Structure 1
Amino acid sequence: MYFEIKNDALKSIKNSLKKLNYEIPEDIKLEFPPNPKMGDLSTTVSFQLAKKLKMSPMDITTKIMENIETSEIFDRVKSKGPYINFFINYDLFSKKLLETVSDNCGKLPSTGKKIVLEHTSANPNGPLHIGHIRNSIIGDSLKRLLKTAGNEVDTQYYVNDMGRQIAMIVFGMEKLGLNIDEDLAENYKNNENQLDNKIDHQIGQLYFKVNEYINENNDQKIEVDNLIKTYESGSNPEKDKVFEKAVNDCLTGVKQTLSKLNVVHDDFIWEGRFVRNGDVDNLVKDLIATDYTKADEVLCLDLEDFGIEKELVLRRSDGTSLYSTRDLAYHKWKSEQGDSVLDILGSDHKLAIKQISIALNLLDEKSPEVIFYEFIILPEGSMSTRRGVFISVDELIEEAISRANKEIKDRRVDLDEEEINKISEEIGIGAIRYFISKVSPEKHITFKWDEALSFERGCASIQYAHARACKLLEKCGHFDLNEEKLSLSSDKIEDNWNLNDSEMDLIRTIAKFPLVVEESANMMRVHPIAQYAQDLASAFNKFYKSEQVLGCEIESARLLLVDKARIAIKNSLNLLGVAAPTKM
């Protein structure tokens, strides 16, 4: 609905400018005023035209206002200084909104564009830890947002199967007799107990032991190097199977963790494929042909002409490839899979991406768009690590669910254990995902449990608004809680519905959703969605507390409004990968 409003406002401005013979700016700025009493939409077009027309913005606004005409969707248009403010006709707008908001609220038309989005891509040498979680949540939420905004999105996890870490794990198994207990791992999968038994945690413990051993026995590094050479050459099929099993075992545990967080990848792309199929060798040859490479002990790309002192090493002295070379081959392949490539990376990767982008440009390939994020930390003393090395994502999830469980038990003595566990998981996972999503990636995050799990201002407050709406609708007798469907139609809206401030505020906020989706997708950021979900829940709670719904003279209109708010809350939470409980 706000798209219709926006288009009507733009049409009015353009027609006025045409009458004045003013050049129409390519992108006329429209924004939401900070206070709805100032209008529902506002334009700063007069500032855009001032320099070219050599007139003051105030004088331009006066001229535009003398010639402006609007559709019936607007109650009035007023100027405030140089600003032009549009006021919605809510009697007409509210009924149209209740007719048009459906289960796919927020979904935009297809753009015909395909985006290849890589995120998480942690080394398969142990469980995901606190340093990975922001990558996964930003990546998955962006996938949801960009798909809702009409794009085709393919999410990929780049698997580092040829790195030194995997060779060390294989070395530990073959030379040190360290093994994975498959029975314990299977028992964890079935019963979800004892994190130390989870297969990726077992591999992480094995890797830790091998690392300590190698540090104490430096001469054994050559053995690890030989394993890398053997696997890269593909000359020993039996050895390949050992490597592949180690990687797949770790990925099994990683996928379990991601699944808990509601994160699913479309593809897992193994870097080894680009070595085995010759892509890495061909890429190196193409880079040599650019005359920017030089060879001493190693082959590297000289980037000094591009303002980067650090060379990009392409091949080791023993002829084996490096992660950077394989990553280049992967990016070259990715650029052919879609219209654009998007990477989610920690801010410590900025130099590496500059190097890769220059190399890709030399080969006339697309450079990736990158969203860099700062790191997340836990306040000291809020959690203890199992091994004193890092805090795993599994531990963070366990802690969040445990804290949510205690909160629910304190609040709801009427629920059985199964219901409490389900709701606790929805709240715990929601707390993690929302707390991380609500902060722009450029800012550091300190994870605060009291804020994350707050029923007053955290994600739980938004989930609670959804549960409140469901409970109210269930009481009316027209709502199927299992299907989450209201059987009332918009032709039941009473003629005597005169909207008050809380109703208008809620309608205005629901209607903004598609525009927020569009703007967030254009800037490739999810934190505006998190803010929108909070604003929407606040508008709903204000309405819920101040207005009678059941048994009032305009019950049908208000029930429909509650249902449309419920849909918008649920869909906005879904963009963040957060469940919308029907009961809390």
Structure 2
Amino acid sequence: MYSEIEKEAVNALKMALEKLRYPVPSEIKMEEPPNPQMGDLASTISFSLAKELKKSPMEITSSLLQALEVPDLFKSVESKGPYINFFVDYKKFSPLLLDALGEDYGRLPPVNEKIILEHTSANPNGPLHIGHIRNAIIGDSLKRVLLKAGFEVETQYYVNDMGRQIAMVVWGLINFGFDLSKYSENDKKDHQIGKLYFKVNEALKENPDLKEEIDNLIRRYENGGEDDLNLAFERAVENCLEGMEITLNQLNVHHDTFVWEGKFVRDGSVSQVVEKLKESGYTRENEVLYLDLEEFGLEKELVLARSDGTSLYSTRDLAYHQEKSEESDRVVDVLGSDHKLAIDQIKIAMNLLDGKTPEVIFYEFITLPEGSMSTRRGVFISVDDLMEEATNRALVEIEKRRSDLDEKEIHRIARQIGIGAIRYYIARLSPEKHIVFKWDEALSFERGCASIQYAHARSCKLLEKSGKFKDKTLRLDISEIEAGWDMDEVELELIRTLSRFPKRVHESASALRVHNLAQYAQDLASAFNKFYKALPVIDSPHENARLMLVDRSRITLSNCLDLLGISAPESM
């Protein structure tokens, strides 16, 4: 509905411009004023026309207001300085919004574009730690948003099975007699592989000559002729991925496809990429084959093969991007900020390969108060430990508040709140901002995600108490909203906030960012809680209208939380 009032305002401006015989821009943008006293929508069109018309913005605004007819859903259009401000008629707009707002609210029309979105792609050499979850949470939330915005989306996890780290794990399995089959189901194999990887790093510190043995394993695996060795690599990776996938699923993160980088060597894709780059005329050879990027403004060349002829991660990554380019309309990657140079190189190479260049969301890293994390050094908090701690802290809070619930229900709700706290803590900040992970901030129940989930639970409880909420459907008709419903300011603010949800989805999908939706969820919860505390609902003169407002708040809170991968509890 918010898009409808925007369209009405834009059309009214276009008609006024045509009446005045002023030029009509191809796009007229509307803004949201900082407070309701300045209107619900505002246009700066007078500024953009001033130079062309050789008139002051104030003069243009005055002329436009005289020519403009107030659209049906607005009660007035006024000037605030040179701005043209539109004020919505909420007596007309509110019933229309509440009637149109269904369970799928926020879904936008289909877009005929397929996006391949790669995210997480952590090396399978140990459990996921909190340094990985920013990638996973941004990527998974973005997939949800893009699907809601009408795109076809496939999420992929790029599995590094040919790198040195995996060769180190395989070397450890061979030389330390490490048998993964002896561990029980409770001993997650990704954690066991992480311990082995740490042990191999310690062995390398004591004896650097072991590096040659590990390099030899890489060469042999890439050649692909030894079944036993191939099986050792595959089992090491599969066992680690199995544990990592369990963790991701518990965090509400799901991938559509796992793509192993080794396949691009085996099927000849890497060789084809290298040959095509040679044909471009930009490759050079000086002990190693490399792509000279100086002409493109990069001093750092892109090495395409090792001196022994084996491939590098960069060439396998190019082959992977070429495949994504051929199978989609857009390629989106979620990567740490330390990949910026590599992506600049990839983009140049992809242009030479006539492929699509990736759109990249770079994020800054999460650190602990005591410093950075490292799987190699064994300094990290695993995501499994993080989720367990979050759940336990939520458990304590629920037990304080809800003595009426049985143990199973308490644990279920605690899990929803704990996972929600983690995901919201990550999603709420722009990816460009560095995060120092602090337990007390992430798991605070006075603010953040728990307060949003509580607003949803409150709405469910109120609807249940009304007796008019059966099978999650409010048994009301729009005609039951009284013509005399004289809305309070807190009701108006809640209506305004509800109306903006589809626009926030569109903005998030367009910008490939999810932090604005996290902020929207907080704003909506705040608007609902103000309404809940300020006005009676059941047995009030406007019970039907207010119950409908509660129900539509429930729907929108639930849908927004779902885009962030967070459960919406019906009881807390």
Indicate the residue corresponding to 2:546 in structure 1. Answer: 558
What TM-score, normalized by structure 1, do the two folds share? 0.95
Structure 2 runs not aligned, ≥5 long: none
Assess if the C-alpha contact under 8 Å between 2:333 and 2:360 holds in 1.
yes
Distance (whole Å) between structure 2 residues aligned to residue 529 and residue 519 of structure 1: 9
For residue 87 of structure 1, what is the aligned residue in structure 2?
87
1:229 counterpart residue number: 219
**Paired residue type of 1:32:** E
- Mapped to 2, the partners of 1:408 and 1:385 lie a distance apart of 34
Identify the residue that residue 153 of structure 2 maps to in structure 1. 153
Q: How does 1:346-495 map to 2 (within 5 A)?
A: 346-380=336-370, 389-480=379-470, 483-495=471-483
Which residue of structure 2 lines up, in the alignment, with residue 191 of structure 1?
none
Shift of 1:238: 2.5
Cα distance change, pair 384–162 in 1 and its aligned pair in 2 (3 A): closer
How far, CA to CA, are the matches of 2:221 and 2:481 in structure 1? 69
Equivalent residue, structure 2, for 1:131: 131
Q: Does 1:283 align with 2:273?
A: yes
SS at structure 2 position matched to 1:79:
strand
SS of 1:295's equivalent in the other structure is strand
Q: Does 1:203 align with 2:206?
A: no
Q: Distance in 1 between matches of 2:307 and 2:549?
A: 69
What's the offset of the Cα at 1:368? Answer: 0.4
Per-residue Cα deviation, 1:465-493 (whole angstroms, up to 9, x for no partner): 0000000000011223xx43322232322
Task: Report if the CA contact (8 A) 2:198-2:377 is conserved.
Answer: no
Q: Counterparts of 2:352 and 2:251 in 1: how far apart (Å)?
A: 39
* Distance in 1 separating the partners of 2:503 and 2:296: 40
Judge which range, 393-402 or 485-494, deviates more.
485-494
Residues 6-17 of structure 1: matches in 2 within 5 Å? 6-17=6-17
The CA distance in 2 between the partners of 1:63 and 1:182, in whole Å, is: 82
Letter in 2 for 1:40: D
User: Quick one: which amino acid aligns to residue 561 of structure 1?
Assistant: L
CA–CA distance in structure 1, aligned partners of residues 407 and 73 of structure 2: 51
For structure 1, the 5+ residue unaligned runs are: 189-196
Say whether 1:328 aligns with 2:281. no
The 2-side partners of 1:316 and 1:93 are apart by 66
- For the Cα contact (< 8 Å) 2:197–2:376, is it kept in 1? no
Tell me whether 1:174 sits opposite 2:179 in the alignment.
no
8 Å CA contact 1:123, 1:159 repeated in 2: yes
The CA distance in 2 between the partners of 1:349 and 1:175, in whole Å, is 33
Question: The residue matched to 2:446 in structure 1 has which SS?
Answer: coil
SS in structure 1 at match of 2:132:
helix
Mapped to 1, the partners of 2:507 and 2:173 lie a distance apart of 51
Alpha-carbon shift at residue 214 of structure 1 (Å): 2.5
Matching residue within 311, 318, 339 for 2:308:
318
- SS of the equivalent of 1:126 reads coil
Q: Distance in 1 between matches of 2:376 and 2:406?
A: 31
Distance in 2, matches of 1:528 and 1:91, equals 29
Structure 1 position 87, deviation (Å): 0.8
Could you tell me how far apart the structure 1 residues matched to 2:369 and 2:397 are? 21
Aligned length: 572
Q: Which amino acid in structure 2 is aligned with residue 348 of structure 1?
A: D
SS at match of 1:315: coil
Shift of 1:387: 8.2
AA partner of residue 353 (structure 1):
I
Q: Which residue does the alignment assign to 2:119? A: 119
CA distance in 2, matches of 1:221, 1:528: 47
**Residues 198 and 378 in structure 2, CA contact (< 8 A), matched pair in contact too:** no
In 2, Cα distance between equivalents of 1:221 and 1:385: 18
Q: Separation in 2 of the partners of 1:216 and 1:487? A: 73
1:218 and 1:183 map into 2 onto residues whose CA distance is 30
Once residues 376 and 528 of structure 2 are traced to their aligned partners in structure 1, the CA distance between those partners, rounded to angstroms, is 42
Shift of 1:384: 13
Please show how residues 270-309 of structure 1 align to structure 2 within 5 Å.
270-309=260-299
Deviations 1:128-163 (A, max 9, x none): 112111111111111111111111111100000111
CA distance in 1, matches of 2:239, 2:449: 34
For residue 523 of structure 2, what is the amino acid of its counterpart? D
Asked if structure 1 preserves the Cα contact closer than 8 Å seen for 2:198 and 2:376, the reply is no
User: Aligned AA for 1:110?
Assistant: P
Is contact 1:341-1:368 (8 Å) kept? yes
Q: Is the 1:75–1:87 Cα contact (8 Å) retained in structure 2?
A: yes
Q: For residue 318 of structure 1, report the CA deviation from its aligned partner.
A: 1.2
String of CA shifts for 1:248-299, please: whole Å, max 9, x gaps: 1110111011111100001100101111110000110111111211222211
d(CA) in 1 for partners of 2:374, 2:306:
40
Which deviates more, 47-56 or 501-510?
Answer: 47-56
Q: What's 1:250 paired with?
A: 240
Distance in 2 between the 1:510 and 1:18 partners?
Answer: 33
SS of 1:210's partner is: helix
Q: Percent identity?
A: 62
Distance 1:81 1:105 in 2: 36
Normalising by structure 2, we get a TM-score of 0.97
